[in-house]
Structure 1
Amino acid sequence: MPFRVSTDAFHLAATEAFRLLPPALLEPLDNVQIFIEEAYEPLPHEHPDTQLFGYYDGVALTERGIDEMGRLPDRIVLFKATFEQACQNWTDMVRELRITLVHEIAHHIGLDERRIHELGWG
């Protein structure tokens, strides 16, 4: 059975998960904001049942040039409904949020999916 939470409670869970991240992972964060959306809407080329926990939208640190000043912040987007479907309780939700944040921050740092999985980061 899905574990439903209010939007405020989901924000608290995401904040708790963020606080559990190792300082060394947070140190390189540069101009990134975290957003919460209710549910993922699959793109036209995706299967309609596609579910994402989150995604990184931005320019990885390894791809940035000297002309990056003044650009909008990169974004990490988390999808509340996906976490609710996958989690049984608060502890599960915080754990899944932490895993997702590590994964998306790894993209910000410049790691690709292959390397993220090699490191065991989801």
Structure 2
Amino acid sequence: MSDDEFDGLVQAAIDGIPQAAIDMMDNVIFFIEDEYEPLPGEAKNTEILGLYEGVALTERDFDWASGALPDRITIFKNPTLRACETRDDVVREVRITVMHEVAHHFGIDDEKLHDLGWG
């Protein structure tokens, strides 16, 4: 799958975020990277499809915004493609991954996301 096609799928998933959620999101930017680079202490073969980096809305206090950088949501192309067999699988997985990472912005943890089917 080309970069442009994958980028389009990620954009479509972002466009599919309910407007009510978009209206509540604050200081978030999206990125697409080819590969996840494991952190020190993680196995070198660690693969994840998406990553939220930031301070969840539920964790912010009154002085949070002072000098805060935007939260980052990164979607990883190659791990996603390796996890999927068909284009339809990629479309579905990108949608799930975008919603999963957005949910982290709202303070929803992995356990709850799995319970809701967004794991």
TM-score (norm. length: structure 1): 0.86
Matches of 1:64 and 1:105, distance apart in 2: 16
Paired positions, count: 118
Give the RMSD, CA atoms, in angstroms.
1.6
Partner of residue 116, structure 1: 113
Partner of residue 30, structure 1: 26
Identity %: 49
Q: Which moved more, 1:20-29 or 1:8-17?
A: 20-29
Partner of residue 57, structure 2: 61
Is 1:41 paired with 2:37? yes
SS at match of 1:77: strand
Q: Alpha-carbon deviations, 1:69-99, whole Å to 9, x = none?
A: 4421100011110111122333221210110
Q: Which moved more, 1:40-49 or 1:107-116?
A: 40-49
Q: Which moved more, 1:111-120 or 1:18-27?
A: 18-27
Is 1:94 paired with 2:72? no
Runs ≥4 in structure 1, deviation > 6 angstroms?
none
Matches of 1:114 and 1:87, distance apart in 2: 23
TM-score (norm. length: structure 2): 0.88
